[in-house]
C-alpha cells in the first residue's frame, strides 16, 4: 500500500499479518500548530502506543491540518472513510487520541461516528471506551458536549482578548499588504512598515488624495507599473483590491471593528498617511464614478488624453502601427467620424517634439525665479509664526465639537423614534471623524518637521525647469507636470501644430518677458490732456446765451 504523502503516513508496528488492522486519525485545528509541528506528532505517537498494547497492526495515519472540529467535511476524513469502505471485510479499527480530535460538537461527532460505523470501521481511543449500551452512549455524548462547550468557550475567550487588544489600539488580525508584525517589548505584536510595498502604497494614496491620480484606474496602473507590488497570475492588480487599499483605515494609523462595537480610534502603529489624507480620499471616492482602466494608456503615449484635435476638439487617441517590413511606428490620430482629420495619423515624434519645445519655453527668468523663491521662503516663515494661533483656533473648534457631541448624546437619551436616534448617531460618527482630523492637525501645528529647502526642493526644481521632470519622470510624474503647467488641454492642428497653450497661473506669473514688458500707461495721449476747471454751487457757471439788446442806448 502506497499512501498519499501529503495527508497520510505509514506506521508499521509488526509484521504479523494475522493481527487486527488499525489506522489512526489525527487533527490539528490551527495553522500555527501545523507550522510549529505541535499536536499531530504527539497524537500519532499515542495512537501507536495504544495499537501496540492492543496488539493491532497500525498501517496508516490520516491527518487533517488546520481544520476546525466543528466541521464534518474534511479531506483527511474523506480519505479515511474511503479506505475503510474499501477494506470493509477487515473490520478496521479507527484509533483517535481523544474524543475532541474526532469533533468538537455533538452534531459533528454523531455524524462522523455514524459515517465510520456505516463504512465498516470500529472507533477506539485510549481516552474513552466506545460502546453501544445506553450508559456508554450517555458518557460519549456528555464528553462530546463538553468538547463542544470547550470549543465555544475558547472561541469566546479568543474573541474577548482580540477585542481588548483592538480597543487599546492594537491590530490583532492579519497584517494587510504594506504592513508586517514586529514584536516590541511591552506591546506584543505591532504593525510596522513593510518596504518597499509600504512606500508604493503611500505614494498611491497620497497621489489620489492630491489629484495626481485622478481616478482609481490611474492608481491601479501605478501599482501595476511597480515591479515590487504583488499582482495576479495575469500580471495585473484587481480593481476591488485597489478600492480596499483606498478605504482601509489601517493605512491612516487607525483601527476599528464596528461589528464588535469598537469605534474608530488611533492605533498603536504608525500609518502610511495622515487621517486627514484618508478623509480626502473618501470625499473623492464618494464624489463621482470613475472610468475603468484602459490598457492603451502607458509610457508609450504620455500625451494621450492631454491633447485635443484642432479641427473638432475631441481628444487625440494613439496607437502603434506595423509596416510591411514589420517595423512598428507610433502615431497620434483623431477618430471622430465627423472630423475632417479623421484617421489622419500624426507622427508621435512630430507631436511630442513640438510639445517639448513648448515645455522648454516655460523656463522662467532667473531674477524672477529668485524673487519667487524668496517670497515662498518669507511666506514659509510667516506660516511658522502663525502656527501657535492656528493651534488655538483648532483647539477651540475641538472643544466646540465635543460640546456638540455631548448635546447629541443627551438628545439620543431623550429620543424615542428609531429614525431620529439613527440620525443622531450618524451625526455623532461624522463629528468623531472630524474630531480625529482636528486632533491630528493640532499635533502637527507645532511647525514643520523639515527645513524649507528640503520641503520645496522638488517643487522649485519643477518651476525652474519643468522639462527635466517631464524627460526623466515616470508616467504619473508626466501627468502631474501637465496639470501643473497648463490650465486646459493642448490644441494640436495637424497642419499648423500646437496653438498657443493656456499656461497655469504660476507660470503666467513667472513669465519674465511679459512682466518686464508690462508697465503703467502714460497720462499723455488720453483725452483731455489739460485739466478742466471745476465748478461748485458757490460759483455760478458762465452763461452760454447772448445778453439782451438795449434799444434806448442806440437812440431807437
Q: Give tens-digit pLDDT for 142-199.
A: 888 888 788 778 888 888 888 889 998 999 988 899 999 998 888 889 999 998 899 9
Based on DSSP, count helices (H) and strands (E) in the chain, helices before strands. Answer: 20, 15
Mention every residue, 6+ apart, whose C-beta is less than 8 A from residue 523: none
- Percent of the chain having pLDDT more than 70? 76
The pLDDT value given to residue 171: 92
Strand partners, 62: 8, 25
Which parts of 313-456 fold into alpha helices (H)?
Answer: 348-360, 366-385, 387-414, 418-444, 452-455
CA angle 453, 455, 459 (to 5 degrees): 90
Which parts of 120-184 fold into alpha helices (H)?
Answer: 134-167
Max CA-CA distance within the chain?
Answer: 176
| pLDDT tens-digit map of 227-241 | 889 988 888 889 899
The pLDDT value given to residue 427: 84
pLDDT band at 212 (very low <50, low <70, confident <90, very high): confident
Element (H, E) at 493: strand 490-493
Comparing CA positions, the residue from 189, 194, 191 lying closest to residue 269 is 191
The pLDDT value given to residue 461: 66
The pLDDT value given to residue 401: 83
pLDDT band at 540 (very low <50, low <70, confident <90, very high): low
CA torsion sign, 289 to 294 to 298 to 303? negative
pLDDT band at 2 (very low <50, low <70, confident <90, very high): very low
The pLDDT value given to residue 192: 92
The pLDDT value given to residue 511: 59
Count the neighbouring beta carbons within 10 Å of the beta carbon of residue 393: 15
The pLDDT value given to residue 552: 45
Per-residue pLDDT, averaged over 374-388, amounts to 71
Is residue 229 within 8 Å of 223, Cβ to Cβ?
Answer: yes
What is the Cα–Cα distance from 412 to 429, expressed in whole angstroms?
Answer: 13
From residue 191, alpha-carbon distances to 83, 173, 402 in Å are 46, 10, 30
Is residue 295 within 8 Å of 224, Cβ to Cβ?
Answer: no
Q: Does 294 have pLDDT greater than 60?
A: no
**244: its cell numbers:** 480596499
**383: its cell numbers:** 506660516
Count the neighbouring beta carbons within 10 Å of the beta carbon of residue 469: 20
Q: Does 14 have pLDDT greater than 50?
A: no
Q: Does 35 have pLDDT greater than 70?
A: no
Amino acid at each position: 500500500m502506497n499512501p498519499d504523502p501529503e495527508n497520510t503516513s505509514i506506521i508499521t508496528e509488526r509484521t504479523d499479518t494475522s493481527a487486527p488492522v488499525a489506522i489512526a486519525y489525527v487533527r490539528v485545528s490551527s495553522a500555527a500548530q501545523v507550522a510549529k509541528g505541535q499536536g499531530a506528532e504527539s497524537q500519532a505517537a499515542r495512537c501507536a502506543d495504544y495499537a501496540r498494547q492492543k496488539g493491532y497492526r497500525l498501517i496508516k495515519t490520516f491527518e487533517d491540518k488546520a481544520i476546525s472540529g466543528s466541521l464534518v467535511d474534511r479531506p483527511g476524513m474523506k480519505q479515511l472513510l474511503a479506505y475503510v469502505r474499501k477494506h470493509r471485510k477487515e473490520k478496521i479499527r479507527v484509533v483517535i487520541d481523544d474524543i475532541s480530535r474526532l469533533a468538537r460538537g455533538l452534531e459533528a461527532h454523531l455524524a462522523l461516528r455514524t459515517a465510520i460505523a456505516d463504512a465498516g470501521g470500529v472507533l477506539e481511543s485510549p481516552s474513552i471506551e466506545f460502546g453501544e449500551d445506553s450508559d456508554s452512549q450517555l458518557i460519549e455524548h456528555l464528553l462530546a458536549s463538553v468538547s463542544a462547550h470547550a470549543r465555544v468557550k475558547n472561541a469566546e475567550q479568543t474573541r474577548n482578548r482580540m477585542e481588548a487588544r483592538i480597543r487599546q489600539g492594537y491590530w490583532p488580525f492579519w497584517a494587510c499588504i504594506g504592513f508586517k508584525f514586529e514584536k516590541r517589548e511591552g506591546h506584543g505584536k505591532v504593525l510596522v512598515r513593510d518596504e518597499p510595498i509600504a512606500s508604493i502604497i503611500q505614494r498611491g494614496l497620497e497621489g489620489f488624495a492630491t489629484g495626481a491620480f485622478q481616478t482609481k484606474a490611474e492608481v491601479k496602473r501605478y501599482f501595476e507599473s511597480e515591479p515590487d507590488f504583488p499582482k495576479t497570475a495575469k500580471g495585473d492588480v484587481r480593481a476591488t483590491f485597489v478600492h480596499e487599499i483606498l478605504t482601509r483605515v489601517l493605512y491612516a494609523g487607525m483601527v476599528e471593528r464596528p461589528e464588535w462595537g469598537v469605534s474608530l480610534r488611533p492605533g498603536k502603529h504608525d500609518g502610511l498617511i495622515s487621517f486627514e489624507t484618508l478623509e480626502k480620499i473618501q470625499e473623492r471616492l464618494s464624489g463621482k464614478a470613475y472610468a475603468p482602466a484602459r490598457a492603451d494608456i502607458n509610457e508609450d503615449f504620455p500625451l494621450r488624453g492631454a491633447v485635443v484635435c484642432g479641427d473638432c476638439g475631441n481628444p487625440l487617441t494613439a496607437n502603434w502601427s506595423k509596416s510591411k517590413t514589420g517595423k512598428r511606428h507610433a502615431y497620434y490620430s483623431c477618430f471622430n467620424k465627423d472630423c475632417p482629420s479623421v484617421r489622419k495619423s500624426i507622427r508621435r515624434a512630430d507631436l511630442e517634439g513640438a510639445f517639448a519645445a513648448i515645455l522648454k519655453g516655460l523656463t522662467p527668468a532667473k531674477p524672477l525665479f529668485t524673487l519667487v523663491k524668496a517670497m515662498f521662503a518669507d511666506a514659509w516663515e510667516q506660516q511658522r509664526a502663525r502656527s501657535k494661533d492656528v493651534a488655538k483656533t483648532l483647539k477651540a473648534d475641538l472643544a466646540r465639537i465635543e460640546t456638540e457631541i455631548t448635546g447629541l448624546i443627551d438628545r439620543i437619551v431623550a429620543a424615542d423614534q428609531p429614525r431620529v436616534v439613527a440620525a443622531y448617531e450618524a451625526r455623532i460618527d461624522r463629528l468623531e471623524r472630524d474630531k480625529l482630523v482636528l486632533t491630528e492637525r493640532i499635533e502637527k501645528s507645532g511647525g514643520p518637521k523639515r527645513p524649507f529647502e528640503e520641503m520645496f526642493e522638488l517643487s522649485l526644481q519643477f518651476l525652474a525647469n519643468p522639462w527635466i521632470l517631464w524627460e526623466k519622470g515616470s508616467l504619473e510624474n508626466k501627468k502631474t507636470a501637465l496639470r501643473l503647467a497648463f490650465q486646459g488641454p493642448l490644441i494640436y492642428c495637424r497642419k499648423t501644430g500646437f496653438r498657443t497653450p493656456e499656461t497655469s497661473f504660476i507660470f503666467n506669473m513667472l513669465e519674465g518677458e511679459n512682466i518686464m514688458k508690462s508697465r503703467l500707461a502714460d497720462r499723455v495721449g488720453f483725452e483731455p490732456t489739460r485739466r478742466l476747471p471745476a465748478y461748485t454751487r458757490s460759483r455760478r457757471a458762465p452763461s452760454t446765451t447772448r445778453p439782451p439788446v438795449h434799444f434806448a442806448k442806440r437812440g431807437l
